[in-house]
Amino acid sequence: MSPPRRRWDALFLDRDGTLIVERGFLRDPRGVRLARGAAAALRRFAERGTLLFVVTNQSGIARGLVTPEEVEAVNAEVARRLARRGVPVAAFLVCPHHPDGTVAPWARRCRCRKPGTLLHRRAIASHGLDPARCAVVGDKWDDVGSGLALGAVPVHLLTGHGREDRARVLREAPGAIPARSLAEGLALLEALPERASRAASSVR
């Protein structure tokens, strides 16, 4: 008997203010604090075969406020903390760019900075994922916007900078799932039924 098909192909999780507590341009791995309840909730997704990606805008690199090595060290610490709790991260997808940056070669416009979707789309293509079976979780409009553009399910949190962007999310993304915290957002995703069209096609 084969196990039931996973409900979610992948979660695309924002890093700062979503997966870890917002600390501005974080350069020191010792500043990493996982969001409350994140590891336990993410583990339930991982156990069902959902891939977990972290997608993060790190314009501090283009602005000269943080080095790529520092971003990598923080990411490695996040991965270590999650691994200890039985949560594997499939990949950290980092946009180092910003058009107002000062550091070559990152001071430029790009298609990977959220709400751009280049990083998500590469992961979706290389893992053969269905965007409609993916969720994008974050505290900013840019996270929600990337989810909408992908045709994924956006989840907007009130942690990090969430309160600043909630009104816009409610106005412009009525399909987004509003939640207070990452733990709550993930619980809502777990409870979300399959879309009717998908459920119908799986009955054949």
- Is-catalytic flag, 142? no
What is the Cα–Cα distance from 121 to 126, expressed in whole angstroms?
8
Closer residue to Mg ion in complex, CB, 52/133: 52
What is the Cα–Cα distance from 56 to 94, expressed in whole angstroms?
5
The answer to whether residue 107 forms part of the interface with Zn ion (CB under 5 A) is no
Residue 16 site contact among Mg ion, Zn ion, none (CB < 5 to 8 Å, cut-off depends on kind): Mg ion
The answer to whether residue 9 forms part of the interface with Mg ion (CB under 5 A) is no
What is the Cα–Cα distance from 112 to 97, expressed in whole angstroms?
8
Within 111-153, where are the H helices? 118-127, 141-150
The answer to whether residue 165 forms part of the interface with Mg ion (CB under 5 A) is no
Look at residues 177, 180, 137 and name the one whose alpha carbon lies nearest to residue 18: 137
Q: Contacts with Mg ion in 125-164 (CB under 5 A)?
A: 139, 160
Tokens standing for residue 22: 């917002």
Residue 187 site contact among Mg ion, Zn ion, none (CB < 5 to 8 Å, cut-off depends on kind): none
The answer to whether residue 14 forms part of the interface with Mg ion (CB under 5 A) is yes
Q: Contacts with Zn ion in 41-70 (CB under 5 A)?
A: none
Residue 14 site contact among Zn ion, Mg ion, none (CB < 5 to 8 Å, cut-off depends on kind): Mg ion
Closer residue to Zn ion in complex, CB, 10/107: 107
Instruction: Answer for the pair 110, 117: CB distance below 8 angstroms, yes or no.
Output: no
The answer to whether residue 95 forms part of the interface with Zn ion (CB under 5 A) is yes
- Is-catalytic flag, 130? no
Q: Is 86 left (phi over 0), alpha (psi -120 to 50) or beta?
A: left
Interface residues toward Zn ion, by CB under 5 A: 95, 97, 110, 112-113
